[in-house]
Structure 1
Amino acid sequence: MDPAKPFVAMVGGEGWACELRAAELRALCQGVAVVVCQHSAVAGQLMAEESITINHESGGLWLELQGTATSWSLRFLLEPDTDRGCEGVWSAQASPQLAMALQKLECSGTLPV
């Protein structure tokens, strides 16, 4: 990796985008996998109108999954460091697709070190 270019990926949603370093991208992939797995574990116990919020924090990244058994959105906050911070949200339509894309990226072994 070129130290002059510390960012390895860009994530974005409606009206926002954020560049991520390798460790931040790994934390996002792993964190999304954790909250989606936790949601899957309890989704069958939720009534149709019941909502749930699941939080996860690791590696300077805070994540939140919020929704119902069948529809949920993701929100993240990258803790500000010396040069930047970032916050973003993905809609209920985009969140499952994002989770699948991050899982493929992580499982493919192509995440930067």
Structure 2
Amino acid sequence: MERVIKSGLGWRIGWNPTAPEFKGLVGTDDWAFELTEAELNDFCRLLAQLADTMRQIATELMDQEKIACEAESDLLWMEVEGYPHAYNLRLILKTGRCAEGQWNDSAVPGLLQASEMLKVF
């Protein structure tokens, strides 16, 4: 399997199975940082979980009502904030390098779709 980098407007995600330690990459057009395989697995899993939560909550909210949801693992903390159909995403690494990143609402759908297609978890 070869290195895969997927990108779109305002997002990038990557997977390199042959890298010694940092097999994953997440970022935007302006920044990126590498993730271990476990961190990338958690990122993909928690992003899917948060997106699912936003879809489920959508029916219970009024049209202009914003919401914030968070999820975390031992390795990272993530939060989505905004409307069920348009929300920002924040990521904080909790161990090692201690990095923080954010994607705006227009980037999240593409990032979510690409994370589901990486097939690493």
User: Is the Cα contact below 8 Å between 1:48 and 1:69 reproduced in 2?
Assistant: no
Give the strand-richer structure, 1 or 2: 2
Residue identity matched to 1:10: L
Aligned length in residues: 105
Deviation at 1:14, TM superposition (A): 4.2
Partners of 1:69 and 1:38 lie apart in 2 by: 9
Q: Which residue of the other structure, out of 47, 50, 53, is the alignment partner of 2:62? A: 47
User: Is the Cα contact below 8 Å between 1:46 and 1:68 reproduced in 2?
Assistant: no
Segments of 5+ residues of structure 2 without an aligned counterpart are 1-16
Could you say which residue in structure 2 is the equivalent of 1:26? 41
Indicate yes or no: 2:88 matched with 1:94.
no
Segments of 5+ residues of structure 1 without an aligned counterpart are none
Residue identity matched to 2:45: Q
Secondary structure in 1 aligned to 2:60? coil
Normalised by the size of structure 1, how large is the TM-score?
0.84
Partners of 1:22 and 1:76 lie apart in 2 by: 16
Deviation at 1:5, TM superposition (A): 2.4
Aligned-pair Cα RMSD in Å: 1.7
